[in-house]
Amino acid sequence: MHLELNAEEGALIDAARAFAAEHIAPHAAEWELARHVPRDVFQAAAEAGLTGVLVPRHHGGKEARHVVAVRVLEELSSACLAITFGLWVHNNALNAIERHGSGAPAERLAASMLSGQRIGAFCLTEPDAGSDAAAITTHALKVDGGWRISGEKAWVSNGTHADVLVVYAQTDASAGWRGIGAFLVDATGDGVTRTPPYEMLGGHALGLSGLRFEDCPVPDESMLLGPPEGFKAAMDGIDKARMFAAAMCCGILGASLSTALSHAATRQAFGKPVLSFQGLQWQLADVATDLEAARLLTFGAADAFDRGETAAVAAAHAKKFASRVALDGISQCMQAMGAAGSLMEHPPARHLAAAKLAHYMDGTTEIQNLVISRGLLKPFGLDAG
Ligand SMILES: Cc1cc2nc3c(=O)[nH]c(=O)nc-3n(C[C@H](O)[C@H](O)[C@H](O)COP(=O)(O)OP(=O)(O)OC[C@H]3O[C@@H](n4cnc5c(N)ncnc54)[C@H](O)[C@@H]3O)c2cc1C
């Protein structure tokens, strides 16, 4: 697929490729084994212009087209999806503050996030509310001059180390989703505690943890989006997030295919490279076809967003397909490498864990089917359930 890029766009993609090669690829396996969350990567990313990819130019960002952001994410995640997802959550939090925040405190926060000094996170999911995000019970109580937030959030990317939290909280339970607003919370302030990081099958560089809020004071000016705009913005944002997650799946699948091809071209069995066996060639040819299809769906969704279309269904198709073929295809790539494919010293084992995590992030595979089904059923006046 050919993408017309201007010089600045080409330079941004090149910067992402160089950044992945220098700051991510050499360390990603070590981060995983040591369960290390590399906070310093955010500052290095800022220097490379990778903290404000979607942020408007007049606020110091790159204001990149979605099709360009997708290419940036493919490059970064080909080295490690976990840290790429963390960086992207940070980008999105900064973008939300730039677009919806107001006043000097928001400006100060945004400047320190653009420089990578402060790190952002989104807190929507709760221990008892995941797919059904409108059912959150974390609440914001109106008090003189501000709000008091109480409740618990779960599965927060960058949760172990974020400084700036975008917290979704219910202001009026009787209003359902219409009562949900978005608040900017200082993670190091009063009333906020972090729960220990999750022990997962992989992806520890993402720093996933929960957060508890107990009577956490938030001034009026820190309401980022009042109800019902807070929840609407979260849902709009999640559509784009799904397309970006699809791009990251393309990155790890492409990287795994390259690793498998290089390995199989040199590994000998029965007196010849294993890549010369047709059975193995066809196995990898199928992976290549799936990768092409996943990339086309992802770029199709990105192009639709760039043209101002509501591309919720396109993004759901892309995320569902790309995460599915990443999980299957990376497994095939590891198979083509023999037992060596299972070693952590080769990236596909790490990428396989990330592909599984991608089935949950920004809405599960089943929720993508719900979005797609809604589109299919709409002409019949029926709702998907
Ligand atoms: C790596 C990672 C990063 C994440 N980052 C963040 C973050 O930064 N911020 C944040 O707020 N959250 C984050 N999440 C949470 C993520 O958004 C949730 O895990 C996701 O929304 C699913 O919620 P759940 O895990 O509670 O599953 P549940 O809602 O408990 O679902 C359980 C099962 O039921 C299925 N199901 C639910 N409803 C339906 C339905 N209507 N039809 C059919 N099947 C259904 C689900 O698909 C799933 O298979 C992250 C998760 C992961 C794994």
Domain boundaries, the chain: 7-114, 120-227, 231-380
From the CA of 157, give the closest atom in ligand 1: 8
Q: What CATH code would you report for 120-227?
A: 2.40.110.10
**Alpha-carbon distance 106 to 123, whole Å?**
18
Nearest residue to 91 via CA among 60, 124, 43, 54: 54
**Alpha-carbon distance 61 to 106, whole Å?**
16
**Alpha-carbon distance 119 to 117, whole Å?**
7
- Say if ligand 1 is within 6 A of residue 30 CB: no
Quote the pLDDT of residue 220.
94
pLDDT for 167-179, tens place per residue? 999 999 999 999 9
20 DSSP assignment: I
- 240, 186 contact by CB (below 8 A): no
Nearest residue to 249 via CA among 98, 74, 107, 12: 74
From the CA of 365, give the closest atom in ligand 1: 47
CA of 76 to the centre of ligand 1 (A): 24
- Say if ligand 1 is within 6 A of residue 123 CB: yes
User: The CATH number of 7-114 is which of 2.60.40.10, 1.10.3720.10, 1.10.540.10, 3.40.710.10?
Assistant: 1.10.540.10
Quote the pLDDT of residue 324.
98
Quote the pLDDT of residue 3.
87
Nearest residue to 181 via CA among 154, 209, 215, 141: 141
Residue identifier of the C-alpha nearest atom 37 of ligand 1: 131
Residue identifier of the C-alpha nearest atom 13 of ligand 1: 155
231-380 fold: Butyryl-CoA Dehydrogenase, subunit A; domain 3 (1.20.140)
Tell me the mean pLDDT in the region 33-60.
96
Concatenate the DSSP letters of all residues of 330-361 into one string: HHHHHHHTGGGGG-TTSHHHHHHHHHHHTTTT
CA of 361 to the centre of ligand 1 (A): 7
CA of 359 to the centre of ligand 1 (A): 9
| The pTM of the whole model exceeds 0.75 | yes
**pLDDT tier, 105 (very low <50, low <70, confident <90, very high otherwise):** confident
CA of 306 to the centre of ligand 1 (A): 27
- What is the greatest pairwise CA distance in the chain? 80
Cβ-proximal residues to 220 (8 Å cutoff; 6+ apart), any chain: 145, 146, 147
Percent of the chain having pLDDT more than 70? 100
